[in-house]
Amino acid sequence: MKALQTLALFGSAVLLTAATGAAQDFLKADHKMLGHQVQTSQQHAQDRAQALYHYNQGQQPVPKDEAKELVAAMRKDLAAADKALAQLKTEFAKNKEAVDLIESIKKHHAKAHEVCGMAEEACMKEGGDKAVAGDCCSDMYHELEAAKAETAKLLKSLKIEKLEPPKKAAPKKK
């Protein structure tokens, strides 16, 4: 009887350990997704800042609808990155280094968001203020570059890996 109790206890411990390990794998996957969301949102916002910058280098004024669309997309990207950062901050609230990096990243995002509004105002002026808009876009680009560097440090310190490419689907049988 004692052997059965020991065996049952050991079996329960093995199952509990396996379940905990599986839960940790899911958490790691969630963390990978959050890290990916931050990085891709930052990259998209930076790409849009670059596009708006180059629009302002041309001879013609930037089409107002195009400028509004780019600015709205940048704001959406920054909001998505901040949302993912907030989730990471909640998950790693006890990790002072992570919290400090997240706060630093959010400061870069806030500055980019502020400059984004200034760029929009410059583009909406009659005839557009290309010099101001171009400077704002340049500032945004470089703020996001700094945010991306901090994000890379954050993900490295938390040991959050990049997402792997999707596995190729198996060919369908006819």
Mean pLDDT of 5-30: 51
Report if residue 167 sits inside a domain.
no
Report if residue 5 sits inside a domain: no
Q: Give the pLDDT confidence of 130-147 residue by residue, as tens digits.
A: 899 899 999 999 999 999
pLDDT at 113: 94
Write down the pLDDT at residue 4: 54
Domain assignment of residue 87, yes or no: yes
Query: If you average pLDDT over every residue of the chain, what do you get?
Result: 86
CA 96 to chain centre: 20
For the cut 50, the answer to whether the pLDDT of residue 74 exceeds it is yes
Check residue 3 and give its pLDDT: 61
CATH number at residue 65: 1.20.120.660
Question: Considering its fold, how many domains does the chain have in total?
Answer: 1
Structural domain contains residue 128: yes
Share of the chain above pLDDT 90, in %: 54
Q: What angle do CA 69, 38, 137 make, to 5 degrees?
A: 40
The answer to whether residue 4 is domain-embedded is no
Residue 85's pLDDT is: 97
Q: How far apart are the first and last CA of the chain?
A: 57
Quick check: is 14 in a domain? no
Q: What's at 167, amino acid-wise? A: K
- Would you say residue 18 lies in a domain? no
CA atoms within 13 A on the CB side of 172: 1
pLDDT band at 42; cut points 50, 70, 90: very high
Per the domain annotation, does 168 fall within a domain? Answer: no
Residue 120, domain extent: 30-157
